[in-house]
Amino acid sequence: MHTQRFPAFSRLLHWLMAVMIVAMLFIGIGMMASLTDYHWLVSIHRPLGIAILILAAVRLTNRMLNPAPALPSDMPALLRVAAHGSHVLLYALMFAVPLVGWGMLSAERYPIVLYGALNLPPILPQSDMLFAWLRTTHTVLAVLFFVTVLAHVAAAMMHALVFRDGVFESMASVRIGADTPAPPHAAAAARSTADL
């Protein structure tokens, strides 16, 4: 069984950002669905997006300094490719979604208030066409982010409850089913996936 774990700081960053990203995605949905709470939600959405952007930079730096534990040696090749690809996509979206949001607000000259009188400077010139394009792009990327997060959670649950290969425990603070061997059909299912 795969027993290596991420360093404590890596796990802290992962779970802190997981909470922030899920909150951000639901706040974004709330902004589109509710006119009465829109301004209140925006006042949370903007600084939270910048916080995610900063933490994404910290997390990427930490990841380069502290590489992830190796995946289980018997993990099928297709699942390895999917795992690496989904992590690259998650990192890309952690940067792209807030940067596109910042650019969108800059193009419309909306103030990006972090706290009180602390505002971020614009990063793009004012342009109604650019604003409209970036707004659509921001929405599409946010939906892609939401779908990717759901796929990531589903994969984590598969590793924790079906494969029981220690991958989930490498990032979790608890061990799930550590003393229970994986059922034979789970290993067979994992291997058969590689043949698809």
Q: What percent of the chain has pLDDT over 70?
A: 86
Cα distances from 13 to residues 20, 42, 64, 116, in angstroms, run: 10, 24, 14, 26
Q: How far is CA 156 from the centre of its chain?
A: 13
CB 3 within 8 A of CB 172: no
Q: What percent of the chain has pLDDT over 90?
A: 60
> How does pLDDT run across 143-175, given as a tens digit for each residue?
999 999 999 999 999 989 998 888 898 998 655
CB 119 within 8 A of CB 113: yes
| Cα angle: 145, vertex 52, 167; to 5 degrees | 65
Radius of gyration of the chain (CA): 20
The answer for residues whose C-beta is within 8 angstroms of residue 111's C-beta and 6 or more apart is 105, 119
Q: What is the pLDDT of residue 75?
A: 86
Least confident of 38-47, 153-162, 181-190: 181-190
3-state class (DSSP) for residue 149? helix
195 pLDDT above the threshold of 70: no
> How does pLDDT run across 68-112, given as a tens digit for each residue?
988 888 888 998 999 999 999 999 999 999 999 999 999 999 888
Q: How far is residue 118's CA from residue 155's CA, in Å, rounded to a whole number?
A: 40
178 pLDDT above the threshold of 90: no
Give the residue with greater pLDDT, 178 vs 156.
Answer: 156
Q: What is the pLDDT of residue 135?
A: 96
Q: Nearest Cα to 145, choosing from 78, 81, 96, 85?
A: 96
193 pLDDT above the threshold of 70: no
Q: How far is residue 115's CA from residue 187's CA, in Å, rounded to a whole number?
A: 51
DSSP state of 182: P
Provide the residue ranges of all domains of the chain, joining segments of one domain with +. 8-98+108-120+138-193
User: Is-above-0.75 flag for pTM?
Assistant: yes
Amino acid (one-letter) located at 184: P
Q: HSE-up of 21 (CA within 13 Å, CB side)?
A: 30
138, two tokens = 């921001």
